[in-house]
Amino acid sequence: MRKISRTRAMLASAATAVGGLAIAGTALATMASAAPAEAAAPAAPAAMTAYRFTILDNADDVTFNQLLGISNEGEIAGYFGSGAAGHPNQGYRLYAPYGQGDYAGENFPGSVQTQVTGLNDQGDTVGFWSSMNTASMVNDNFGFYQLNGHQAHTVVFPTGDNASPVTDQLLGINDDDVAVGFYTNGQGSNRGYAYDIRTHQFTRVLVPGYPTGTAGPSLTAAAIDNRGDIAGFYTDARGTTDAFLDYRHGPFRTLDVPGASSTEALGVNDHDEVVGVYTVGTGASAAMHGFTWTPRGGFASVDDPQGVGTTTINGVNDAGDLVGFFVDATGNTDGFRAAPHRG
């Protein structure tokens, strides 16, 4: 996952309110953003790439599905269940050709709720799990990884300054088994980090330019590519949510859709194509649109035709295939895959 933030329907505590994922990220709660005072024109240009959209909902719960990551083989990570009391998140992997028999449940052993938020081309997955499913939806969250379907392991950033309940989520993983995610501290700020599964080493992801010894702004690391470039989002000095792409061997680049009230990066591929969601306006009438961004082409809006204004793009593979979710006319949250028209 929400990956986090307000962007996904998370099992999370209020402090996490992200994708996801981050974040949605993010505390997984449907991209329900605040509604605005006035509607604004779409902030990003129309999509330059034409896509073929396919709704993919697990029949075990057609009312709530979110697709959060896609591998180069077309394997998809996601979950069903809104996280409301009695309606827990239940993780899964989905394999081509994407029929009902191609869903494979994946839930952390002994958990009450699980989201599978990211996967790589080796069959390894990451996500987070909870021991709770409360009416308030304020639940504990613990990151986890699972290598090629074998034993799942919990990951919690080593700090004595945790939110209560604990909120810690892994949201993305590359083929070198480096995962990224965040935890929420006791002051309610998200702290992004990378975790090397092979060496068990943690590394903080920070916005540069802040004095040494300071933590910097609230930040969620949502995705990582095979070069080690990390995408996510943070809160700037104005209180605005900005997307970023942190190049492993280059600069930290802030990405803002022109005219948007917030921009969240949730996925990245090996071509540094970044995907995510941006919001136009504030309040109950705010509109949320998916986006893609490339170093040469800049931003393009991408909305599922049945979910214009409620679309989140959460994952992208090297072929440019997208996965995400939208809210339909009946109020259901539907997962979708969008494949570029080729040839």
In angstroms, the CA 37 to CA 43 distance is 16
pTM for the model? 0.90
User: How confident is the model over 184-202, as pLDDT tens digits?
Assistant: 999 999 999 999 999 999 9
- Gyration radius from the chain CA atoms: 17
Note the pLDDT of residue 303: 98
Average pLDDT, the chain: 88
Q: By the 8 A CB rule, do 205 and 230 touch? A: yes
Q: Give the chain's length.
A: 343
Asked if residue 238 has pLDDT above 50, the reply is yes
The mean-pLDDT minimum among 6-20, 79-93, 145-159 falls in 6-20
Q: Which residue has the higher pLDDT, 225 or 283?
A: 225
User: How confident is the model over 115-163, as pLDDT tens digits?
Assistant: 999 999 999 999 999 999 999 999 999 999 999 989 999 999 999 999 9
The mean-pLDDT minimum among 11-25, 92-106, 111-125, 145-159 falls in 11-25
Contacts of 54 by beta carbon, 8 Å cutoff, 6+ apart: 98, 336, 337, 338, 339
Contacts of 331 by beta carbon, 8 Å cutoff, 6+ apart: none
Asked if residue 243 has pLDDT above 80, the reply is yes
Phi first, then psi: give them for residue 324, nearest 5 degrees.
180, -150
- Architecture label for domain 5-340: 6 Propeller (2.120)
Note the pLDDT of residue 305: 97
